[in-house]
């Protein structure tokens, strides 16, 4: 990456009523090889309080929080796009843990090709949940390994 014009990156996270999971994600964002320029948490009108989590990470991350009262992930992500200040917007979920190279690897393609508009990456299921999504990832992983 060149220092001529370093692209800024905002991490946008949508959350609703899951402060304990958000804390895990925010902790992983403190260990990034390339720290994000902004971490924007979009609270989709939670009833749970995030005050303790925000207090814990406000000095460790460039943290900003907004509340989106229109229900749904689409409305919350669109609010995140409008409110973010980075040239590159990275989306992740509140129940994820970002690998230490995540931000760096996500912005890298934008330096290689100025025509790139979007990138994505692999998602590794850790096997912690037993819900329908977990069953999907488990079945997908088993099919891939055969």
What span, in angstroms and rounded, lies between the C-alpha atoms of 136 and 146?
16
Domain assignment present for residue 46? The answer is: yes
The string of pLDDT tens digits covering residues 10-68 is 999 999 999 999 999 999 999 999 999 999 999 999 999 999 999 999 999 999 999 99
The answer to which of 44-48, 106-110, 142-146 has the lowest mean pLDDT is: 142-146
**Looking at the domain assignment, is residue 86 inside a domain?**
yes
Q: Which segments within the chain are labelled E, that is strand?
A: 9-15, 38-43, 63-67, 88-93
> In terms of residue numbers, what domain contains 60?
9-120
Q: Which of 52, 51, 44 is nearest to 16 (CA)?
A: 44
What pLDDT is attached to residue 121?
76
Closest CA to 18 of 67, 64, 61, 53: 53
Residue 87 maps to a domain: yes
> Which CATH number fits the domain that encloses residue 67?
3.90.550.10
pTM, two decimal places = 0.83
């Amino acid at each position: 990456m060149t220092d001529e014009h370093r692209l800024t990156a905002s991490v946008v996270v949508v959350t609703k009523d899951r402060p304990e999971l958000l804390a895990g994600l925010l902790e992983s964002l403190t260990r990034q090889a390339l720290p994000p320029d902004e971490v924007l948490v979009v609270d989709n009108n939670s009833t749970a309080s995030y005050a303790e989590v925000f207090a814990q990470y406000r000095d460790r991350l460039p943290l900003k929080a907004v509340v989106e009262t229109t229900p749904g992930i689409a409305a919350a992500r669109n609010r995140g796009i409008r409110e973010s200040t980075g040239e590159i917007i990275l989306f992740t979920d509140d129940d994820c843990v970002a690998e230490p190279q995540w931000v760096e690897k996500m912005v890298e393609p934008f330096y290689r090709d100025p025509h790139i508009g979007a990138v994505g990456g692999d998602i590794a299921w850790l096997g912690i949940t037993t819900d329908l999504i977990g069953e999907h990832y488990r079945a997908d992983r088993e099919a891939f390994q055969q």
